[in-house]
Amino acid sequence: MKIITKQPLWAGKFLRTVLIRYSTHCNSSNMVETRDWESVERVNCSGIVGMVPVTDDGDVILIKQFRPPVNGYVIELPAGLCDIGESLEDAAKRELIEETGYSAGDLRFLVKGPMSSGSSSEMLTVFVATDLTYVGIGRRDETENIEVLKTPSENLASTLLQMQLDGSIIDLKINGLVEMAKMLIKNKRATKMKKTDLREKAEKSDGEYVFGAEDTGSHACYMIYGILKAGEKGREIKPGKGHEEIITSLRGNLKLTGHHNGMLEEGEAVHLADEQACFLENIGNSEIVYIIAGGHSGHGH
């Protein structure tokens, strides 16, 4: 199958109709024959964008507006045309503000596909919009009269059913796109980097913070971030039975006494196991930062 020709039949400001002549296999003759297909195309734009806006609380933002082709009020996701020379992402951000008043701090591609492949060549590119901030309704077209709706995503199906019973027409794309968006957001949260301000926590914990099971959910290993002020001394480091630790100076030179004796210079490391112990001391005039990486001994576990 292939398209042979496209003949424009009528053109308006935003749409035109075309007669598509194409070749296809005919079942009755078992031969390749030529057929005609009437279709609609967009003009004066470079694409169509749709947005699935989801708030931090999990609410989905929908819109309601009158659509003359169906002679009724339609519940739908925000969408609009991409101007020639405009990127799809910029068009999505602009249309979201114009139709809902929300600005997206994060915009992620969700899916692209035909709107109605049997009658139109329109391809819709959909984005998930999160980290929303209300900035006020942007400049709308002079005929746009849009009502902004917000509904919890877990109640979406029942909310749409009630809207339908109340006389609104429901855009069938909503349910599928929202479910896809929820999966994307869930995956995004699962892979979002969790960071811990070790210095802040150490300063609030008498100079040391143990980064371990509470932060990672694992008891297999841990890390201690420590700060020694100038002249501070007497901090004991002892792994304990079945554990091993490696002490590294990140900034400054540490004085060690005990199992190891001497200066541990910046960038150097020593190893302790089980009941071996060392005392740390800062004999300099500047703050020292050190790291202790620990875990279970091979023979202990």
Amino acid 49: pLDDT: 98
Exposure pattern of 218-253 as b/e (b: 16+ CB <10 Å)? eeeebbbbbbbeeeeeebebbbbeebbbebbbeebb
Could you give all domains of the chain from N- to C-terminal order, each with its CATH number? 2-42 (no CATH), 47-191 (3.90.79.10), 198-296 (2.60.120.10)
86 catalytic, yes or no? Answer: no
Amino acid 141: pLDDT: 63
Kindly write down the DSSP assignment for every residue of 13-45, as one continuous string: SSEEEEEEEEEEEETTTTEEEEEEEEEEEE-S-
Catalytic residue among 86, 142, 266, 281: 142
Provide the residue-wise pLDDT of the chain in tens; the chain has 301 residues. 899 999 999 999 999 999 999 999 988 888 999 999 999 999 999 999 999 999 999 999 999 999 999 999 999 999 999 999 999 999 999 999 999 999 999 999 999 999 999 999 999 999 999 999 999 886 666 566 899 999 999 999 999 999 999 999 999 999 999 999 999 988 877 666 677 788 888 888 888 888 887 777 777 788 999 999 998 876 899 999 989 999 999 999 999 999 999 999 999 999 999 999 999 999 999 999 999 999 887 654 4
Q: How far apart are CA 30 and CA 221, in angstroms?
A: 70
* Distance from the Cα of residue 222 to its chain's centroid: 29
